[in-house]
């Protein structure tokens, strides 16, 4: 699935989509096959800030991020 660009909240640069990972806690729609939610991990090539947000599952997941 295509990933929309994410802007770094610290420096405004376009962040790189680094990986997707399954998170077994938190809020969101749990994938019954995986037992958790899939999050996109993003890293800023300019300042090094790292954040994540729920992966777009095609049913309206709202992006949310924060430092990890």
pLDDT of the residue at 61? 40
Buried b (16+ CB within 10 A) or exposed e, 10-30: eeeeebeeeeeeeeeeeebee
Positive or negative, the CA dihedral 41, 15, 10, 54 is negative
pLDDT digits (tens, 9 = 90+) for 4-60: 889 999 999 999 999 999 999 867 788 888 889 999 999 999 999 999 998 876 443
pLDDT at 59: 41
Residue ranges of domains in the chain, CATH in brackets = 1-56 (2.20.25)
How far apart are the C-alpha atoms of 26 and 17, rounded to whole Å?
21
Residue 67 has pLDDT above 70, yes or no: no
| Model pTM above 0.75 | no
């Amino acid at each position: 699935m295509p990933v929309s660009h994410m802007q770094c909240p610290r420096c405004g640069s376009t962040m790189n989509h680094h990986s997707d990972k399954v998170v077994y806690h938190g809020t969101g729609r749990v994938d019954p096959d995986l037992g958790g939610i899939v999050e996109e991990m993003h890293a800023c090539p300019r300042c090094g800030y790292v954040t994540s947000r729920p992966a777009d599952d095609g049913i309206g997941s709202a992006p949310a991020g924060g430092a990890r």
